[in-house]
Amino acid sequence: MERETTDTLRQSIMESARREIQEATRRPAPRPLQRTPTDLRFTPERLEELEEMGGPDAYRSVEAPLGMDLLGDETVVIAINLQDAVTRAVRHNLNVQTATLGPAISEAQVVAAEAAFDWSVFGGVDLSRIDQPSVVPAINGVPIGSSINRRNAYGFDTGIRRRLESGGRLDISQRLEITDNQSPNVSLSPDPARLASLDITLGQPLLRGFGSDVNLAEVHLARNLERDAIQTLRQTLIDTVTQTERAYWSLYLAHHELHIRQRLLDRGIETRDVLEGRLDFDVKPAEYSDAVARVESRRADVIRAANVVRLRSDELKAIINDPELTVGNELVLTALDRPIDASIEFSLLDSITTALGNRPDIQRSVLLIDDASIRQRVADNARLPILDLTLQTRFTGLDDSVDGAYREIGEATFVDMLLGLAFEMPIGNRGPEAALRQRRLERTQAVINYRAAVQNAVVEVKAALRNLTTSYQLIEQTRASRLAAAENLRTLLVEEEALRALTPDFLDLKFRRQEALAIAELQEIQSLADYSISLAELYSSVGAALERNRIRFVVPNPGEDVDRRRQGSDDHVSAGSAIDVRARR
């Protein structure tokens, strides 16, 4: 019955995974990301001119001052690349530091569980003085013996004992007792007497509590807890790396939005100044006031964008937690890298299969099933009646010298033996039966949780792939929209040079086309940042974010960890910026 239950469980788990990848097996081959080309066609000269008017590469000469920091000084900006940010986060992030202690804590629990089967040494010394009245037998009226029982005794006990993995207990002990008789009219031989004994006792349950599966259950649970802590650390690392990438591209987006807002403000100021110079010619005061209002509104947007830059910089600094870039200092970070704009190949089947094999949450759900199975086996054994076997052998020696007493033990002259069986069975056995039902339900619950973890993994993988596909397509569309908006503004500026008078409608159109170009630029930058973030989230959803960032996750064995501590080594960045992250043991 137990084998059938285990086989059914295994089939259920395999079917849960097989069901989720069944549809994806129809087209297992990888395919590239695709996007629809736009209908816009520009000459190289015109395209270069439009790229200077707006776009990711149009801000090399645009200064967007951040103003004074909280200390009243000019803001200092430091550039940082993505790899450096990830490296710092993996080394210093507080969540990672906390999680690295988890395996060490769990390993201590494993040692504590295994220590229950270690040998223990015990010993004792006792001193007794007996001074009692005693009944004296008489034969034909003649008393035999003494009416006083008086003696001094000294006892010394030593031994070792151990709990056995089979559930039994082995005790090996010896006792030396020295008795000095002082009763009047009584002569003993030998006196003083040296009584030595060697006891070997084995107690072994035959039904309830029998077997290594039951008695090593706490050890197995502790080891699973250690594996769970390792997977928790791995998940924390994946989350930290993904959060770092997300914060990095959000910072990139915030800086570019500030540049876009600043250029939009500069263009508004330029238009306002032109109107101010023509107030006495063909510009009405109301038209000029409208231009001033728009400029001040854009200036407010610049102030808000500068504040967002500072907030995004602090968010990234909080994640990486580098002692050189603390959250408390007023340095502002800026992204040195640019988001990628390149197609990748993906396979839904490969992505789901990789996720099912790599994701820490799925590995943890498997451990929970194993924990539930261990507890079920223990509960099943607890239903059995108690039938305990006791075997005891005692070797005894008596002499007037210690050597002589122990010599008799070695010769096995006097040997006592004891064999005993003890039986107990609760009437109805309701408690153990209820506990077994509970453990069975808990294992079924763990299997359902595993299915939920598999389903959640598939949902996250598909969502990441859809977001990646959408972001990649939007890059082309938003770029086309930005080029079209730039062309609209360019043609309007050409018309402005030919106009003799600026009409209110023309001025309003000019302001609106400036704002339309800024909005299109923001959308393009957003799509580029979203594509990089989606790529990071895809690798996170399949559990491969560490490998993508060249982070090697190492769980040393205890011996290796001791050697490393002796050598004074620590986590390090090796050649090629590959990072070794070691769980603490």
For residue range 226-280, list pLDDT tens digits in order.
999 999 999 999 999 999 999 999 999 999 999 999 999 988 998 888 878 877 7
CB-CB neighbours of 176 under 10 Å: 17
* Mean model confidence pLDDT for the chain: 86
CA atoms within 13 A on the CB side of 158: 3
pLDDT band of 569, cuts 50, 70, 90? very low
Long-range contacts of 490-493 (CB under 8 A, 24+ apart): 490/49, 490/50, 490/53
Highest mean predicted confidence (pLDDT) among 143-157, 335-349, 431-445, 557-571: 431-445
DSSP 182: -
CB-CB neighbours of 403 under 10 Å: 10
Could you report the per-residue pLDDT of 497-532, keeping only the tens digit for each?
A: 776 566 777 888 888 999 999 999 999 999 999 999
Q: Are 548 and 521 in contact (CB under 8 A)?
A: no
Q: Are 358 and 542 in contact (CB under 8 A)?
A: yes
Residue 144 has pLDDT above 80, yes or no: no
Q: Are 549 and 576 in contact (CB under 8 A)?
A: no
Reduce the DSSP state of residue 37 to 3 states and report it: coil
Q: Which of 41-55, 117-131, 187-201 is predicted least confidently?
A: 41-55
> What is the rounded CA–CA span in Å between residue 514 and residue 301?
14
Mean pLDDT score, 96-120: 92
Which candidate, 343, 340, 320, 341, places its Cα nearest to that of 331? 320
Whether the ω angle into residue 385 lies within 30 degrees of 0, i.e. cis, is: no
Task: Identify which has the larger pLDDT, 159 or 151.
Answer: 159
pTM value is 0.84
Q: Where are the domains of the chain?
A: 119-218+383-434, 550-585
Task: Identify which has the larger pLDDT, 500 or 160.
Answer: 160
Could you report the per-residue pLDDT of 81-103, keeping only the tens digit for each?
A: 999 999 999 999 999 999 989 99
Residue 577: its pLDDT value, please?
42
67: left (phi over 0), alpha (psi -120 to 50) or beta: left
pLDDT band of 63, cuts 50, 70, 90? low
CB-CB neighbours of 238 under 10 Å: 23
Alpha-carbon distances, residue 277 vs 271, 280, 284, 285, 512 (angstroms): 10, 8, 11, 12, 21
